[in-house]
Amino acid sequence: MALVLSLTACGDEGIVGMGEDQTLMTVVLEQPGDGVTEWRGDAGDFEDHPYQPEGLRIDAGYPVFEGADAFAEELAAQVDQEVRDYRGASREPVNLSIDWQVVAAGNGVLGVRLVRTEEDFQGLRQAYGTYWYDVSTGHTAYSTELLADDAALEELDGIVREEFADDEQVDVRGLHPVMRTYDSMGFNTDGDLVVEFDDGHLSPTVEGHPPSSEPGRKVAVVPAEEAAPLLSDLGERAREAALAEEPVLAVEEPATEPETTPEPAPEVPGVVEAGDPELDCSEDRCVALTFDDGPNETTPALLDLLAEEEVSATFFLNGHPTLTRPGVLRRAYAEGHEIGSHNHLHEHMPKKFDEKELVHQVAAVSAMVRRQTGHTVELFRPPFGDSSPEVLAEIGRQGMAEILWSQDSEDWTGLSRDEIVESVVEQAEPGAVVLLHDTMAPTLEAVPEIIERLREDGYAFATVSQVYDGPEPGESYPPEGLTSPVGS
């Protein structure tokens, strides 16, 4: 029979709470054996990352199943990404361990739960991710692929919101149907769907500080009969595998036909494409509204307005606000806005940071965004528009394009609401990338009229990537550069 293991701790020091707790996933294996070996590594096994803090201890592992090499490759890639993002996103990182459990094995499905235990300046916390392997196709799936589609994920998000509605340790405004929020799901011994959230992932905002991890792991259990209509074929088979009396841990490699075109990867519920997919900026009169320095306490009001007007924008985020308001970041991503980096600290990069510091400054926000949403940031805007060949080279080395602006609203100079409106509308031209700040009250007051008047003039609102038709990493946009760098 499958074991049931407490998910509040993992590893040699933390196997506690054995019992029939319905908030626990089934666990069929927690150490090598029965056709399963283990890969385990330390900091020296992750030396190709752009940012490698000195003295950081890493102990990471994942299972390797006989006959499932493709699964091992994907788990290795996921562990590598977790280490990379921990290095980049954490304040003064100290220690990271990644342990594993097999939560399903049978019916053509393998399920693995990875548990990150990490320590940094903010303290000690745990985070969870569950991955699913389809033996017949060799496809490794994220947890949201246990669900049929985005509509099923949205319905699950509503169920979870109701379950947490009266929980004072949870801010349901931080719940959004994105892949990285729902990155750990599995089944208990009754076949119920267990949805677990990282320590602090749903904690209320604490002004000036990251949300507290003290509430620990939060869990929503969806009864089997209520979850059943939401499941994909993989989800149904995963549920049966979690309940199997005899786990099947050694599998056969999927058969491949050399001349057959591989099947395209399935769409992953909770992965959001930014912008209006029907918009073609080579034909339409496009303008991109961009907002720097958030997320801020005023950003939700701006998101309300953009949602009401059905406008997509691009947000360039700084590190501290992103750590402080991760739920706002998740909302912006979930609602189809484009997310870019505005550096970790809002400083003049060429003057403030040496070569080693520059690497972390560029890496930080990208890592924070990926941890909260799953999205890989492709756009970087240096504070004040202040760049250099060295800054641009580092941005490109980390896979991003440098985005400046073609139109400065000058809202940062203390203009009034009406002056900001006139500044934006009078300078508007097709393909403009407009610099604004969602941290400034007059700007938020100006946005409704900006949208109204630009629409009257025939403009459509696009993301930066749509305006520039997919900016290339290591390149700077607009190509002609800035005519007047400012205090952004």
Q: Which of 106, 183, 111, 177 is nearest to 142 (CA)?
A: 183
* 475 strand-pairing partners: none
145 within 8 A of 270, measured Cβ to Cβ: no
Report the Cα–Cα distance between both ends of the chain, in Å, rounded: 60
The DSSP-derived string for 10-51 is -STT-----S--TTS-EESBSSS-SSEEEEEEEGGG-TTSS-
Whether 59 is catalytic: no
CA 458 – CA 479 distance, rounded (Å): 25
Token duo for residue 471: 């900016």
Centre a 10 Å sphere on the Cβ of residue 361 and count the other Cβ atoms it contains. 23
The dihedral of CA 454, 455, 460, 463: what is its sign? Answer: positive
Helix (H) / strand (E) element for 88: namely helix 69-89
Q: What single-letter amino acid sits at 318?
A: N
Neighbouring CB atoms inside 10 A of 69's CB total 12
Q: Catalytic one among 85, 99, 183, 292?
A: 292
Strand partners, 110: 105, 133
Residue type, 393: A
Instruction: Kindly name the residue from 201, 337, 344, 437 that is annotated as catalytic.
Output: 437
Rounded CA gap, 336 and 54, in Å? Answer: 37
Token code pair at residue 109 = 């499905």
Residue 195 near residue 222 (C-beta atoms within 8 A) = yes
* Helix, strand, coil tally for the chain in percent (to 5): 30, 25, 45
Q: Any catalytic annotation for residue 167?
A: no
Q: Measure the CA–CA gap between 264 and 131, rounded to whole angstroms.
A: 19
The secondary structure of 234-248 as a DSSP string is HHHHHHHHHH-SS--
- The residues annotated as belonging to the active site are 292, 437
